[in-house]
Structure 1
Amino acid sequence: MIAVVQRVLSSKVEVDGKVVGEIGKGLNILLGVVKGDTEEDIHKLVNKIVNLRIFSKDKEGKMDLSVKDINGQVLVISQFTLAGNIKKGRRPSFENAEKPDIAKKLYEKFIEEISKHVETKTGIFAADMKVYILNDGPVTFIINSKDL
């Protein structure tokens, strides 16, 4: 499972011109489900993300607080393209992306688990979404559950 985690001042996602998820200060999470991912990947990823100390508490800007510590929110958006492979040719291959029915179940389980720790909003799985991100810093991390 791959997550692009961005510290944001605000973020929202629209589907068909309507806002379906919106947060203030917190984390924007783009989530890609890869073939072979399991609930263990979810638990490792959620634990890392909610405890990641990437928010500042002092004027020096030292990152010492997690999204939980600041009572922040998260916006989780499915993004199968994170499983894309661009090594050959010019057109990405998505053979590493999990099948949609399995990916949706794991995406929904990720949301269920992270919601136990922080207020969570979402996009709509497999929809054509427009994402607005006001990145703070910018601070962005790419986290692969296989590396945890």
Structure 2
Amino acid sequence: MSRRPVMPGHRHNKECWIAARDGEVPPGAFIGGEDNGEPMYVIRAYYEGSLLPGKLLESQEQGYVPWAGSDNAVFEYEVLCDFHGSWHPCSGDNIPPNAVPAGTSGDGEILYVGRVVHDGTLTVGKVQPSLGFLYIPFYGEELSFSIFEILCY
């Protein structure tokens, strides 16, 4: 397992992140969404100085993270595994206290896992509280949504 960021204010991590690469899906991977009937897994990856939540479709042999307006491919990532949380409605910066911290921005802000239905897919991405949006990587773009679901314990 690769290094974990320090999540201030979070008393006990109950999730497990397993290092993987090139489309690999470890046993017990958490399914967070779907695209055309294919499971979409929750991942996180280091990209441009941030640890960003994102998505993985096994058929694409790479993960994707939203950053700077783009859908960015990542070939090394961590997959959320052996997790039994649930999704809760969320909007803007109203982050529930039991939301799962999954990364950090370049300036140290904690990022969370969110998802939304868009164009027939249930797509996973990052929630950045200071901006009040869920950002998803979607066909070359980073799209933002103010109403979404957030992953919680």
Using the size of structure 2 for normalisation, the TM-score is 0.27
The structure carrying a bigger strand percent of its residues is 2
Kindly indicate whether structure 1 or structure 2 has the higher relative contact order, using CA contacts under 8 Å at least 6 residues apart.
1
Q: Which entry has the higher C-alpha Rg, 1 or 2?
A: 1
Using the size of structure 1 for normalisation, the TM-score is 0.27
The structure carrying a bigger helix percent of its residues is 1
